[in-house]
């Protein structure tokens, strides 16, 4: 959850401040650090909940989810940048912030078996 919150904080900083190099470089570093913390822990948590007899299928589904999430994220970001005109970058960052907050909220939920 801390990685998703860190990524959300970096996105919030990028939305709130002017979109210039001196602001974007540290914000992107914070976002990258947050994703680097979140992704491995999230994948490990998912794989830990899969029975040993189905780890191959589970690993494939984790990779499928990661690929679909990446493709959807790129598509929605591109759509926001293309359709929103001058507000496109902030809209794209807002969509990513919403996704990061959702990921943090879902990570805070107790594991169900």
pLDDT of residue 30: 92
Domains of the chain: total:
1
pTM of the model: 0.70
DSSP state at residue 81: H
Taking the CA atoms of the chain, what radius of gyration do you get in angstroms?
Answer: 16
Answer whether residue 83 is part of any domain.
yes
- CA–CA distance, 107 with 110 (Å, rounded to integer): 8
Domain of residue 18, residue span: 2-108
Answer whether residue 16 is part of any domain.
yes
Answer whether residue 63 is part of any domain.
yes
Answer whether residue 59 is part of any domain.
yes
Answer whether residue 43 is part of any domain.
yes
Answer whether residue 51 is part of any domain.
yes
pLDDT of residue 20: 82
Per-residue pLDDT of the chain (113 residues; tens, 9 = 90+): 788 889 888 888 888 888 788 888 998 899 899 989 988 888 888 888 889 899 999 999 989 988 998 898 888 878 877 777 777 787 888 888 888 888 888 877 765 65
pLDDT of residue 113: 55
Answer whether residue 17 is part of any domain.
yes
Answer whether residue 113 is part of any domain.
no
pLDDT of residue 71: 92
- CA–CA distance, 7 with 32 (Å, rounded to integer): 7
CB 3 within 8 A of CB 41: yes
Question: ∠ at Cα 108 (3, 58), nearest 5°?
Answer: 80
């Amino acid at each position: 959850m801390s990685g998703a919150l860190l990524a959300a904080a970096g996105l919030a900083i990028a939305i709130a401040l002017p979109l210039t190099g001196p602001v974007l470089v540290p914000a992107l570093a914070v976002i990258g650090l947050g994703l680097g913390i979140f992704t491995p822990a999230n994948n490990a948590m998912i794989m830990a909940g899969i029975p040993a007899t189905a780890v191959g299928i589970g690993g494939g589904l984790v990779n499928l989810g990661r690929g679909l999430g990446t493709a959807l994220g790129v598509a929605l970001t591109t759509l926001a940048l293309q359709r929103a005109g001058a507000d496109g970058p902030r809209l794209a960052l807002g969509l990513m912030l919403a996704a990061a907050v959702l990921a943090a909220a879902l990570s805070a939920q107790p594991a169900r078996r």
